[in-house]
Amino acid sequence: MSHHDAIPAPRRHSRADQLIQQFDTVLRTLVPHAAQPSRPSPAGDTRDDEISDEERQHAAGLMRINHTGEVCAQALYQGQGFTARLPEIRHQMELAAQEEVDHLAWCDARLVELDANTSLLNPLFYMTSFALGAAAGAINDKVSLGFVAATEELVGEHLSAHQQTLPQGDQRSRAVLRQMEIDEAHHEQWALEAGGHRFPAPLKSAMRLMSKVMTASVYRV
């Protein structure tokens, strides 16, 4: 028996396997409270200071935006992983997607604490982001990685701004957003180091415009 015969090749997931995994991910992403984090919430034992009902509603609006942002990120990584060519790129995207699941669950848990719901528009934004991710991955891995980097840069800007505009007493939301910002910066750095193209300024501006539409609608719905 030859050496090649002695060591079986690693099993490759069929397209049917991938579709089943995708469907499972869709459910875990879109069904409230279904996402299971692999890390405990950064809020931990952090206590909030006194916040008014109006401040609570504002904090909920911001956390709803961040939750939907993570829905989009999850869809983006799933779409790109579906079409990415290089196995190591696909594997890294799966790892990054798991951290996005953590973010999703943390934001969801915080919304529960704030007596608020996730956005009703999440399915729409999931489908749009999945399509964009799959299209980028289908072009080539450099464009796909560049899209990751540009998206994570944009998310980082949102997270930084939200930490400044959260009610002063909302320490638990701020702790969550702080860790999310650290993770997103790592994702951006990885994507660029892996060979991602830096997107030109006009394209980033178009992405910012799209994100403004999302944030304006999700803040209340």
Binding residues for Fe cation: 70, 100, 103, 152, 184, 187
- Look-up of token digits 């009902």: 53
Contact by Cβ (8 Å): 193, 146: no
Apex CA 139: angle with CA 129 and CA 122, to 5°? 5
Give the contacts of 61 (CB within 8 A, at least 6 positions apart). Answer: 219, 220
Residue 109 token pair = 């848990």
Q: What one-character-per-residue DSSP string does 67-94 give?
A: HHHHHHHHHHHHHHHHH--SHHHHHHHH
Residue 85 token pair = 């060519």
Annotated binding site: 70, 100, 103, 152, 184, 187
Residue 45 token pair = 């034992």
Q: Report the C-alpha gap between 176 and 84 in whole angstroms.
A: 30
Q: Report the C-alpha gap between 51 and 110 in whole angstroms.
A: 15
